[in-house]
Amino acid sequence: IADSRAVLDALEPGTDAIINFAAESHVDRSILSADEFLSTNVLGTQVLLDAARERGVRRFFQVSTDEVMGSLPEDENAYFTENSAFSPNSPYAASKAAAEHLVRAAHYTFGLDTVVTRCGNNYGPRQFPEKFLPLAIANAMHDEPIPLYGDGLNVRDWIYVEDHCRAILLALLHGRAGAVYNIGARNEHRNIEVAESLLDALGKPRSLIRFVKDRPGHDRRYAIDPSRAESELGWRPLETWESGLRKSIAWYQENSCWIERARSGAYRDYYKQQYGTEVDAA
């Protein structure tokens, strides 16, 4: 998306909306090298905004993340709202925050109709195994250790991918121009609880959990207040944490060939660099 010519060529006349899902999105990779994150997430967003204006696209939709707002205290009464200050703590989060600022600027400077959503941790089918949940499921299926950063007590707010997609569609069709919507399912869980839950569901021993050196700048807690999306868009998640986890595990079990392909090639090199060990070959 950083190739302006390619983007303009791809935009057909009469395009109603651009929904920008495209992003480098893994925090660990951004710590290893931020260049691709700046190119795709920042420059790429500006290229799309310019193309939207040039082609007369009616609405520009930016899919963002709660990570732009940094880390919450462990006080359970603290939540991210749409008015929370930006405080990104990783190169990835900083790149997404910069992208949001560009979208806001396009709205207020050029009058472009924009909508932004910020979501929590997505999970579900077809998620690349560098992300924690599919990594843990795949490792457990192979009786391999599940690496857990630090003390494992970091809290994330989890949302099933189909619930997130429904929220995006509602915001695209009914969201206010210039508005931001937080999308969260009120599913806060410590990382160690997530690992234990999936091991229990798979019938694997909790002894597979391996604590590893903490991630630099590791945010302690995310928690989203989705009240605006609920009241203005009528959105509610359909999946509970338990039902979404069951569906996710079942999909990876039924699609072992997909997960093996994803765990090969460059992923194997990344995994060894990040965790100091190798994933088993299929």
Q: 135-192, pLDDT tens digit by residue?
A: 999 999 999 999 999 999 999 999 999 999 999 999 999 999 999 999 999 999 999 9
Q: What is the band of 106 on the pLDDT scale with cuts at 50, 70, 90?
A: very high
Q: Hey, where are the domains in the chain? A: 4-275
**Residue 35 has what pLDDT?**
94
pLDDT mean across residues, the chain: 93
Could you please state the CATH topology (level 3) that the domain comprising 4-275 is classified under.
Rossmann fold (3.40.50)
Q: What is the pLDDT of residue 281?
A: 45
Per-residue pLDDT, averaged over 246-258, amounts to 93
pLDDT at 251 over 70: yes
Q: Given this model, what pLDDT does residue 258 score? A: 86
The answer to whether 125 touches 186, Cβ cutoff 8 Å, is no
- Higher per-residue pLDDT: 41 or 130: 41
Active site residues: 66-67, 92
User: In this predicted structure, what is the pLDDT of residue 138?
Assistant: 92
Rounded CA-CA distance 101/114 in Å is 12
Please give the pLDDT value at position 167: 98
Is the model's pTM score more than 0.85? yes
Q: What is the DSSP string of the chain?
A: ---HHHHHHH--TT--EEEE------HHHHHH--HHHIIIIIIHHHHHHHHHHHHT-SEEEEEEEGGGG----S-TT--B-TTPPP---SHHHHHHHHHHHHHHHHHHHH---EEEEEE-EEESTT--TTSHHHHHHHHHHTT--EEEETTS--EEEEEEHHHHHHHHHHHHHHPPTTEEEEE--S-EEEHHHHHHHHHHHHT--GGGEEEEPPPTT---B--B--HHHHHHH-------HHHHHHHHHHHHHHTHHHHHHHTSTHHHHHHHHHHSS-PPP-
High-pLDDT (> 90) share of the chain, %: 82
Answer whether residue 234 shows pLDDT above 90. yes
pLDDT, mean of residues 261-274:
72
